[in-house]
Structure 1
Amino acid sequence: MSIVVVGSGINGLVAAAELARAGRTVTLLERAPRLGGFIASQERTLPGFVHDVYSSWHPLFVSGGAYALLGADLEARGARYRNTDGALTASTADVGGERRTVVGYRDPGRTAAGFSRARDRETYLAMLDAFGARAGTVFGALGGELGSGRTLGALGWRALRALGRRGVASLARDAMSSGRAFLRREFDGWEADALWAPWLLHAGLGPQHATGGVMVPVFAATLHQFGLPVVDGGAGRFVAAFESLLRDAGVDIRTGVEAEGIELRHGRACAVRTSAGVVDAGTVIASVSPQALYGTLLAESGAVARQRADAARHRPGRGAAQIHLALDRPVPWEDPALREVPLIHLSDGSGSTGVAVAQADAGLLPQVPTIVVGQQTLLDPQRAPEGKATLWLQLQEVPFAPVGDAAGLIDTRGGWAEATLRDRFLDRVLDRLEAFAPGVRATVLAADLITPADLHAANPNAVGGDPYGGDAELDQNLLWRPFPGAARHRTVVPGVWHIGAATHPGAGLAGGSGHLVAQQLLGRRSR
C-alpha cells in the first residue's frame, strides 16, 4: 500500500523524499497551491526585490540528518547556499543611556575576544568545549523518539558512559534552567546574554523558559560550526529543488487538495478522504496541528477520544509577524560593525526580550519589541537591484488577538483587520530601527507587513499565528510534545503518524520529525 504525506512543510518534504528515494510509493497532499509551507520567496514589495517570505536561515537543515541524505541531490537541482565566514549575528540596545553592541563571528575565539571580562572570554570557550562532550547526548535526544522507553534507556546509558554521573547531573540542571538563569549563572558581563538570549525566540522559547540552558549552547555551537546559510536566489529555489527531487523519485504531488479525513478499516488507516476524492493509503504521515489531526482527520475514530480532548487544550505559542522592506540603499547603521552582520537582534538580551515576551503573553503589543533584522543581501546581493537592499524583519512577541498596547498608544480594537493597527505597529517597528540606523526610514521604497492573523490564514498549522507549532514550555516539550499520550510520532491509530513543528523535536527548519519517521518506517531507526 502507498504512503500518503499530508502537508508539504519541511517535515513533509523530507519524509516524502526519503521514503520515495528508498522505493516507497508516496503521494504528497498540499492544500495550498504551492509546496513549502513556511518556505517561500517572492517579490512582495517591488519588482527585483526578492524576499524570503517566512523562514530564511538554514543552519539547522545543513547540520541535520535529512541534509546528509538529501543535500547533494538538492544542490544538483539548484538549492545552493550563500554563507558567511566572518560576522554571524549581533545584538544592539540602549541600556542606561549607553549603546551596547556585541557581535558573534564564525570563529568562537574572535567572538569571545569581544567580551569585556577575561573570565567571560574563558567561560565562553569552555561552554563550547563542554557542549562538544555533550553533543552526542543532546542531539541524540533532539533526534530520537523520546516517547519510546527503549530510546530513553539507550540515551541514558550512553550519557552516563560519555559524561559520568556528575556530567549527567550538570546537563540535567542546565536542561531545567532557563536561558536567562544559565547565562547569568555562567557569565559576569552582559555580552553573552545579549548575544544569545534573543536566539531562544527562534525555538519558540523565551529567556525565562526551561530548556534554555541547553538551547543556548546548541544555538551557539551550531552557528559557529555551520554559519547562517541562505539559499542562493531565495528560499523558493529550495522548494523548487525539493519538488524536482520528489518528481524524479516518482512522488505523486497534488497541490490545491485538502485532506478532510483519514478513513479506517478495522481500526487501521486505509485511505485519505480529500477535497478531490479518496486516496488509498496503508500509511498516513500527517504534518498538521494536533487540533487538525485529532479533531478533523481522525474525527470519526473512537480510539483517540482522550487525544482529541488533549488536542483541544493544546496551547499555541506567541504569534509572530514579518515585515519586508525594499531599501534604496543598505541600512545606514550608526555602529559600523553592524553593516557586515547577516542577522541582528535589537535587544539587550534576557532583560528587554523577557519583558516583551511577558507583554505579548498578556495579550499586549510590546512597548519595545525584539526585532530580528535579516540582511540577506549581504550574503546574496542578487536579491535586490544593484546598490539597493532587502530587509527581513521578524517579530516573535506579537499577540494573535491583542487586547491592548503596553505603551498605551495604539488602539487595538478591531484587531489586525484594522489598517490603523497595522500602520501604527509598522511605525513602531520602523521607529525602533531608526534609533539604531538614523535615516533608514528615508530609504524605504516599499514595505509589506505579515501579521499573526496573516500567518494563520496562510498556513492553518500556525494556530493562533504561532509558526512554531505550539507553546514550547516544558509541559509541551520533549517527552510531552505535543502532550502526554501523543509524544510518539506513531499514533495509537495503526498506520497514522504525526510529524511537524508540533511534534518532537519541535520547530526549526531541520526536518527533524520528517526524517525520524521516514527512517523508522524504513526500519533504520527504532520505533
Structure 2
Amino acid sequence: MTKKYDAIVIGAGHNGLISAIQLAEKGWKVLVLEKSSKPGGASKSGEVTEPGYVHDVYAMNIGLFLGSQFYQKYEEEMQRFGFEPVVNDKPYASVFPDDTGIGAYQNRKEMFKSLAYHSTDDTYAWKDLSHYYDQTTPHFMPLMQMELPSYEAWKHVMKSMKQLKLNGLMELGSHLLQSPREFVDHWFESDKVKAMVAPWGLHLDFGPDVSNGAVFPFLESILNQRNGMAFSKGGIQNMIESMVKMLEIRLGEIRTEASVERVLVESGQAYGVVLENGEEIIAEKAVIGNVTPTQMVNRLLDEKEVPDHYLQEADSYRYGPATMMIHLSLDEPLQWKAGEKYSEFAYVHIGPYVEDLARTYTQAMNGELPDSPLLIVGQPDVMDETRSPEGKSTLWIQVRALPSHVKKDSLNEIEADDWSNIKEAYADRVIEKLAAYTHNSKRAIRKRTVLSPADLEEDNPNLVGGDSVSGSHHLFQNYVFRPVPGYSRYKTPIDRLYMVGAATWPGGGLNGTSGWLLADKL
C-alpha cells in the first residue's frame, strides 16, 4: 500500500528539519528522507579519527543558528532534548610568519589592547567600525530573515530610507559593495589587523577582490567578537539530534539511508517521490527539497516537466571553490609560536596576509593547487572538554580555497589527478604549513582523516565539487537572484515543489532562515 503524507522533505539538513518541525506543529503529517546514514547534511559530528575524539565533520560555528528565529522560539525545548551551546570569549585570531599574532576578544579592553599592539590608530578604527555596525545593521540585517522580494522587505527598506536619508543609504550601499580588500583597506592601516578581518570572506567564496564580499567580514568579525564563538557541546550532531526529537514528538517521521530517485509530477504539480528501491510515497500538500537547483533539475526531475527558462538557469547555477577538511587527534594541544594564548582561541586563521588570500583564491579558480592555502584551524577543546580525552586534543582544519578539478600544482610538486589520488599529498602540504606556525604539531599528531572535495560531494550531494556552502554567493547569484532569478522565495515552477537550504536565500551558514520562512507561509 502506498504511504501518504502531507509533506515530504528531501534531505535532513538543518533547514529541512526546521521546515519539517514547523509543519508538523501545524498538524501536517511529515516525512523527512535522508540519503546518508545520519541526519544533518553538512552539520554532522563523529569519531572520525579514533574513538574518544569527537569531530564536527564540516560545519562547527553555530553563532548564526543561535540568532535564528527558530532557535529564539525553541531554545528551551532544544536544550531539553540535549543541545547545549558552549561559547568561547576568545573567538578568532590570525598568526603570522614572524611568530606574532592578533586575536579578537569578547572583552573590550582585551580587544583594544590586542589591536593597539599593532596599531594605535586601528583601535580607534575598530571603535568607529563597531559604531557604524550599530548604526547600519538594523537597516540591512533584518532583510536576512525575510523573503526577497516581499512586501515585508519593501516596507523595511522604505523605513530605512526614511531614517538613513538618501546619503546614508548610498554610503551604506557603497561599503557593502566593496570587496574584502577594499573594506579592510578603508577601515584599517595595519596589515595584521586587516588579516584578522579579511579571512571571513573566504568562509564563503569571497576572495579579497570580489565585489560585495565585504558583507561577511563586516558581520562576522563584529558578531563573533561581541558574542564569542559558539559550538555545540559534544558535537554539532547533538544540535541535529535534538531537532530530530522535536520532529518525532510532533509525530513527524525521519528515514535515513533513504535516497530519493525522482520527484513525481503530474500536470505541473508535484505529488510525491520515488526512492531508489522503487518505493513510491505520496505528498498531498508539498514536496520540499533541501537540495541545490542542479540536483533538482538533473537528478530529481524529468527535464520535460521543467520550463525551459528555469532549466537553463538551474543548469547555469555556479558553485564556488572547493574545501578540504582535515581532522586530527593530538596527544596534546597545539603550541603556537605566536604565544601560548593562541591555544585558547576557537578559530585561528593562517593566511597569513590579504595578498596571500588573493593569490590562493586566484590559483583555486584557475584550477591550480594553491601553494599556501588559507587554514581555518578550529580548536574545540578550548570550550568543550567532551571533544577529547583529558590532556589530548581534537583539531578541525578547514582548507580554503581549492579547485574542484585539479589542472596543475602551483609548486609543480603534485601531479594533477583526481582528488582521490592526491588528497594525502596535499594534506601533507597543509600539515607543513601548520608546522611552520607551531612548535609541536607534527609530533603531537596521533591520527588524521582527510576529506577531499570529492569526499565532501560523495557524502553530501549538496556540496557539489566540494563547495562547502552549496553555491557561489557572488552578487549575480545572491539576494533576489538566489538560487535563480524569479525563484528566490523558495518556490519552483512546479506547483507544490519547494526548495530550502544553502542554495536559497540567505545562503550558506547555519542560519535556519529558508526552512523557517517556507514553513511559515505553507
TM-score (norm 1): 0.94
Per-residue CA deviations over 1:198-219 (Å, capped at 9, x if unaligned) read 1112233222222222222211
Return the match for 2:310 from 307, 321, 330.
307
For the structure 1 residues 321 and 117, does the alpha-carbon distance in structure 2 shift closer, same or farther, using more than 3 Å as the test?
same
SS at match of 1:401: coil
Paired amino acid for 2:131: D
Return the match for 2:280 from 267, 272, 277.
277
* Alignment-derived partner of residue 349 in structure 2: 345
CA shift for structure 1 position 298: 3.0
* Alignment-derived partner of residue 525 in structure 1: none
* Alignment-derived partner of residue 324 in structure 1: 327
Q: Does 1:386 align with 2:387?
A: no
Q: Does 1:138 align with 2:136?
A: no
Q: Does 1:65 align with 2:66?
A: no
For the structure 1 residues 280 and 18, does the alpha-carbon distance in structure 2 shift closer, same or farther, using more than 3 Å as the test?
closer
Return the match for 2:94 from 58, 77, 91.
91
Name which of structure 1's ranges 425-434 and 99-108 shifts more when overlaid on structure 2: 99-108
Q: Does 1:295 align with 2:298?
A: yes
Alpha-carbon RMSD across the aligned residues, in angstroms, is 1.7
Answer whether contact 1:326 1:444 (CA < 8 A) is retained: yes
How is 1:148-297 mapped onto 2 (pairs within 5 angstroms)? Answer: 148=150, 150-275=151-276, 276-297=279-300
Aligned counterparts of 1:226 and 1:355: Cα–Cα separation in 2 = 31
Name which of structure 1's ranges 204-213 and 499-508 shifts more when overlaid on structure 2: 204-213
* Alignment-derived partner of residue 114 in structure 2: 114
SS at match of 1:185: helix
Runs of 4+ in 1 over 4 A off after TM superposition: none
Structure 2: tracts of 5 or more residues without a match: none
* Alignment-derived partner of residue 475 in structure 1: 476
Aligned counterparts of 2:474 and 2:218: Cα–Cα separation in 1 = 18
Structure 1: tracts of 5 or more residues without a match: 522-527
Answer whether contact 1:60 1:222 (CA < 8 A) is retained: no
CA shift for structure 1 position 262: 2.5
Return the match for 1:400 from 404, 418, 428.
404
Paired amino acid for 2:140: V
CA shift for structure 1 position 386: 1.2
Answer whether contact 1:202 1:508 (CA < 8 A) is retained: no
For the structure 1 residues 226 and 16, does the alpha-carbon distance in structure 2 shift closer, same or farther, using more than 3 Å as the test?
farther
Answer whether contact 2:86 2:230 (CA < 8 A) is retained: yes
Aligned counterparts of 2:235 and 2:284: Cα–Cα separation in 1 = 34
TM-score (norm 2): 0.94
SS at match of 2:255: strand
Aligned counterparts of 2:492 and 2:424: Cα–Cα separation in 1 = 44
Between Structure 1 and Structure 2, how many residues are aligned? 513
Answer whether contact 1:340 1:378 (CA < 8 A) is retained: yes
CA shift for structure 1 position 221: 2.6
Answer whether contact 1:93 1:348 (CA < 8 A) is retained: yes
CA shift for structure 1 position 114: 1.9
Paired amino acid for 2:380: Q
Return the match for 2:40 from 32, 36, 46.
36
SS at match of 2:214: helix
Paired amino acid for 1:249: R
Identical-residue share of aligned pairs (%): 29
Q: Does 1:415 align with 2:411?
A: no
Aligned counterparts of 1:308 and 1:157: Cα–Cα separation in 2 = 34
Per-residue CA deviations over 1:433-452 (Å, capped at 9, x if unaligned) read 11111231011111100000
SS at match of 2:264: strand
* Alignment-derived partner of residue 492 in structure 1: 493
SS at match of 1:344: strand
* Alignment-derived partner of residue 430 in structure 2: 429
CA shift for structure 1 position 56: 1.2
Paired amino acid for 2:500: I
Per-residue CA deviations over 1:455-491 (Å, capped at 9, x if unaligned) read 0000111111112111111111112112223322122
Name which of structure 1's ranges 471-480 and 386-395 shifts more when overlaid on structure 2: 471-480
Answer whether contact 1:343 1:373 (CA < 8 A) is retained: yes
Answer whether contact 2:272 2:280 (CA < 8 A) is retained: no
Answer whether contact 1:257 1:274 (CA < 8 A) is retained: yes
SS at match of 1:83: strand
Answer whether contact 1:321 1:450 (CA < 8 A) is retained: yes
Aligned counterparts of 2:23 and 2:109: Cα–Cα separation in 1 = 41
CA shift for structure 1 position 301: 5.1
